[in-house]
């Protein structure tokens, strides 16, 4: 299911990877996002399977929601692996454990929310992540159109 979100008269589709082992929370994420717009989801309960599917087409995702405590891999390892394939993928970490040290680490890798959270906070976080990702992508594409690649002549005497 795809949908259109309107911002500043521009339309864009949102495609989100959800890695969450608790089906009730995964459904909550989906409901929270659909309350404002239709969104395309790929939901996985295991980190390894999610990474396998993600590797098929990593650039098709606009953001990821990753639970920190997954049954097979820590969410932080899943995030590192996704960033190897899609370096600027915005990630929203979800954690049920309040730990100042881990929160500091999560803030360095992406946005985070602690369970339980308000749906409005969740929506705002993911919406801002996707918007930022789109703006960076548009900026990169516009710069590549303006400045063509330079040809380098290693031997100017020839």
| pLDDT value, residue 144 | 55
**Buried residues in 23-34 as b, exposed as e (16+ CB within 10 A):** eebbebbbebbe
* 80's tokens: 């590192």
Residue 126 has pLDDT above 90, yes or no: no
| pLDDT value, residue 130 | 77
Mean pLDDT of 1-10: 40
Could you tell me the domains of the chain?
A: 5-74+89-142 (3.40.50.2300)
Terminal C-alpha separation, the chain:
57
70-117 pLDDT per residue, tens = 999 998 899 999 989 988 888 999 988 767 666 776 667 768 888 888
78 conformational bin, left if phi > 0, alpha if psi -120 to 50, beta if neither: alpha
3-state secondary structure of 148: coil
Query: 48: closest CA among 26, 83, 73?
Result: 73
Question: 96 vs 39, which has greater pLDDT?
Answer: 96
Q: How confident is the model at residue 47 (pLDDT cuts 50, 70, 90)?
A: very high
pTM of the model: 0.74
Q: What are phi and psi of 37, to 5 degrees?
A: -170, 160
3-state secondary structure of 43: strand
Q: How confident is the model at residue 139 (pLDDT cuts 50, 70, 90)?
A: confident
């Amino acid at each position: 299911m795809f949908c259109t979100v309107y911002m500043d008269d521009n339309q864009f589709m949102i495609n989100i990877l959800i890695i969450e082992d608790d089906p009730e929370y995964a459904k909550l994420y989906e409901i929270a996002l659909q309350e404002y717009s239709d969104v395309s989801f790929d939901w996985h309960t295991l980190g390894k399977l999610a990474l396998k599917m993600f590797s098929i087409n990593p650039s098709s995702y606009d953001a990821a929601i990753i639970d920190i405590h997954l049954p097979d891999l820590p969410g932080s390892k899943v995030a590192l692996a996704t960033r190897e394939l899609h370096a600027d993928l915005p990630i929203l970490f979800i954690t049920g454990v309040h730990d100042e040290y881990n929160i500091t680490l999560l803030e360095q890798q992406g946005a985070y929310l602690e369970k339980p959270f308000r749906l409005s906070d969740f929506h705002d976080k993911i919406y801002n992540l996707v918007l930022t990702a789109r703006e960076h992508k548009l900026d990169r594409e516009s710069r590549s159109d303006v400045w063509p690649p330079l040809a380098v002549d290693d031997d100017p005497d020839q």
